[in-house]
């Protein structure tokens, strides 16, 4: 039976490429975008490549939008095999300390609460799959071990700590969802040339999508509760 995937923030950047690579492996991909026009343009692009994709409008910061997307998927497909929580934002510090609560609220609302919201709405659909896979997009900048050890690591307090929270959620939900046969892992794509960092990144999106796609397609004997990049495991 065809696998069904939902990729959030799929209208551009790494998310669009994850959608492309999953669809190239015969997965039907629901490309989620908060803006219907931008989302439709991305769906049209992948459709022209002969890929099986469709659009759902989904803003991860908006409860009603996430609930409506889940209902649409329930009515149309009745299950979800793969959820890639890719939608994310970087919040660059105005000053190095970034001790304003607003910056943290902004980063956490999308990067952390957005994932909680989406997982909450999609849990029943993933359970219905019988082999659900959740991939949360994070970064080596979230690794507490690497922050301590590496003096050159970029310190963006709101962004890095929001992704550390994503890592923590992954470990916890990997345990809580194991009885539903759902695997939950974190993917780090590396430093990627996208809008998120004003194209300062050095990897391309094709390279960046490889690890999340691998984790989305794990067999039943694959890992859960891990933090991975192309080279293997990353320390927490
Ligand atoms: P990007 O090009 O800026 O794309 C981000 C995507 O997230 C866009 O589709 C954006 O939609 C969407 N998004 C933002 N807020 C949203 C919301 N409230 N609801 C729904 N969608 C929303 O960034 P990217 O580099 O591809 O990043 C993708 C993921 O990888 C992020 O989680 C990021 O933290 C992570 N990551 C990136 C890098 C890197 O070097 N680029 C490194 C490590 C991790 P709009 O077009 O509507 O804004």
Structure tokens at 68: 């409506």
Distance CA 189, CA 210 (A): 8
Strand order in the sheet with 133-137: 53-57, 28-33, 4-7, 82-85, 133-137, 183-187, 227-229, 232-233
**The pLDDT of residue 182 is above 90:** yes
* Pocket of ligand 1 contains residue 53 by CB under 6 Å: no
Residue 179 Cα to ligand 1 middle (Å): 30
> 124-177, pLDDT tens digit by residue?
999 999 999 999 999 999 999 999 999 999 999 999 999 999 999 999 999 999
Q: Where are the domains of the chain?
A: 4-233
> How would residue 96 be classed by pLDDT, with cut points 50, 70 and 90?
confident
Collapse the DSSP code of 52 into the 3-class scheme (helix H, G, I; strand E, B; otherwise coil) and give the result: coil
Residue 225 has pLDDT above 90, yes or no: yes
* Number of residues that this document lists for the chain: 236
Q: Kindly state the tokens that stand for 134.
A: 């959740």
Dihedral-angle region of residue 198 (phi above 0 means left; psi in -120 to 50 means alpha; beta otherwise): left
Contact indicator for 29, 7 with CB cutoff of 8 Å: yes
The pLDDT score that the predictor gives to residue 70 is 98
Average pLDDT score over residue span 206-227: 98
Nearest residue by C-alpha to atom 21 in ligand 1: 9
Question: pLDDT tens digits, residue range 34-89?
Answer: 999 999 999 999 999 999 999 999 999 999 999 999 999 999 999 999 999 999 99
Does residue 86 line the site of ligand 1, with CB under 6 A?
Answer: yes
The reply to whether ligand 1 has any atom less than 6 angstroms from the CB of 14 is yes
Instruction: State both tokens at 210.
Output: 């490889």
> Is this prediction's pTM over 0.85?
yes
Active site members: 159
User: In this predicted structure, what is the pLDDT of residue 94?
Assistant: 87
Which of 184, 80, 106 has the alpha carbon at shortest distance from 138? 184
Distance CA 147, CA 233 (A): 16
Domain 4-233 homologous superfamily, CATH: NAD(P)-binding Rossmann-like Domain (3.40.50.720)
């Amino acid at each position: 039976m065809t696998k069904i995937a939902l990729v959030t923030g799929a209208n551009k950047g790494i998310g669009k490429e994850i959608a492309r690579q999953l669809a190239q492996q015969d997965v039907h991909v629901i490309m989620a975008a908060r803006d219907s026009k931008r989302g439709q343009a991305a769906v049209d692009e992948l459709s022209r490549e002969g890929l099986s994709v469709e659009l759902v409008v989904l803003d991860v910061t908006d409860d009603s939008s996430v609930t409506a997307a889940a209902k649409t998927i329930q009515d149309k497909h009745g299950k979800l095999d793969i959820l890639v929580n890719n939608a994310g934002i970087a919040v660059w510090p105005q000053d190095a300390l970034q001790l304003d609560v607003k910056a943290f609220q902004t980063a956490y609302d999308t990067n952390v609460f957005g994932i909680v919201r989406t997982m909450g709405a999609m849990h029943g659909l993933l359970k219905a799959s019988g082999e659900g896979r959740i991939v949360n997009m994070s970064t080596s900048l979230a690794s507490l071990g690497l922050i301590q050890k590496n003096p050159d690591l970029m310190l963006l307090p709101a962004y890095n700590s929001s992704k550390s929270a994503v890592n923590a959620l992954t470990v916890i939900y990997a345990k809580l969802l194991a009885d539903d046969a759902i695997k939950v892992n974190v993917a780090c794509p590396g430093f990627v040339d996208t809008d998120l960092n004003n194209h300062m990144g050095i990897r391309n999106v094709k390279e960046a999508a490889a690890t999340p796609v691998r984790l989305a397609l794990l067999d039943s004997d694959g890992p859960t509760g891990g933090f991975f990049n192309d080279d293997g495991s990353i320390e927490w």
